[in-house]
Amino acid sequence: MSALTPASEVILRHSDDFIGRRVLFAGDLQDDLPADFDAESVRVHTNQYHHWQMLNASMKEDVQFGLVADAEFIASSDMLVYYWPKSKQEAKFQLFNLLSQLPVGIDVFVVGENRSGVRSAEEILGEICQLDKVDSARRCGLYHGRLEKQPEFDAEDWWQTYMVEEVTIKTLPGVFSREGLDSGSLLLINSFEEPIKGKVLDIASGSGVLASVLATYSPKMKVTLSDVSAPALAASKATLEANGLTGEVIASNVYSDITGRFDMIISNPPFHEGLQTSLHAAEQLIRGAVNHLNIGGKLRIVANAFLPYAALLDATFGSHEVLAQNGRFKVYEATRGRPPRDVKKKKR
């Protein structure tokens, strides 16, 4: 078993409550606790592809990845354990989706770090599931209640739309910059002065805003978008469709499901895993780029200026340029050169 998060350690303090139960795990689960959990049966629904990858090897068909839960998959559960994410609206979307399909009377546990705002669960579920705080440890809160009535849920009601110039952006709870274009992505978009040609891969595509805005002004650009988040993948597809654009949208943990090479890779990479700062995905993005770029292909990313990406770019590519910057962000570009030939000189 991998190292457990504080939230999972709190759950284990109540392990006797789960013996003989049919438990459904969901939410921002970041470890493999369900794979070894002592219960009659354990299933997992996750909106995060890398969490699905982590659990799929051992749990097989008992773990599901997707935007919304499959009713048949969760129907046999008599207990829900929900890990609170950092986004309140994302939590509400996921909980209402799950509880709209679970039977009245089911036990509901909600757990999360206090700084994530887990106490909001009492308010969000108040009209359908009265929650009481049953534990507080490791800077986490654990809440328990029983579902009193099923909420109504229609995923179509959760979509939001905003415009970036003439480009329509579609988005859902849990997608980065849901309310509008963030300043980092704007800086990256504005760093392009000419139309783009060739195959472009947008990693951590979010709402699809980067690829869609650039493709709108670059008719010879062929786009592939990838993300680990089911809401982001749905939003990327919807944004492409809303603008009459074509492109491939792939669930991938950085390069895990990416094949082929590209003329450019673009990204506004995340530097958090849940509430924790994590540079792992961005480091994988930079190190793996040379294996997915054509010779002469370019990696262009935007990042907070304080993050230590310059040295990593130099170590991977040999050099880099800063194309744009402001008080908070820098746009970096690195080019894949031709690998040196291993020529051995013959001794005379």
Output the average pLDDT for the chain: 93
Q: For 8-50, what is each residue's pLDDT tens digit?
A: 999 999 999 999 999 999 999 999 999 999 999 999 999 999 9
As a whole number, mean pLDDT of residues 225-253 equals: 97
Per-residue confidence (pLDDT) for residue 131, from 0 to 100: 98
Decide if pLDDT at 341 tops 50.
yes
As a whole number, mean pLDDT of residues 169-191 equals: 93
All structural domains of the chain: 6-155 (3.40.50.150), 159-336 (3.40.50.150)
Q: Whole-angstrom Cα distance, residue 199 to residue 197?
A: 7
Ramachandran angles phi, psi of 129, nearest 5° = -155, 105
As a whole number, mean pLDDT of residues 194-218 equals: 96
The closest of 166, 123, 2, 26 to 84, measured between CA atoms, is: 26
Q: How confident is the model at residue 343 (pLDDT cuts 50, 70, 90)?
A: very low
pTM of the model: 0.93
CB contact at 8 A, 147 and 105: yes
Decide if pLDDT at 282 tops 90.
no
Residue 161's DSSP bridge partners are: 170
Please compute Rg for the chain using Cα positions. Answer: 22
As a whole number, mean pLDDT of residues 234-240 equals: 98
Q: Whole-angstrom Cα distance, residue 124 to residue 93?
A: 10
Ramachandran angles phi, psi of 131, nearest 5° = -100, 140
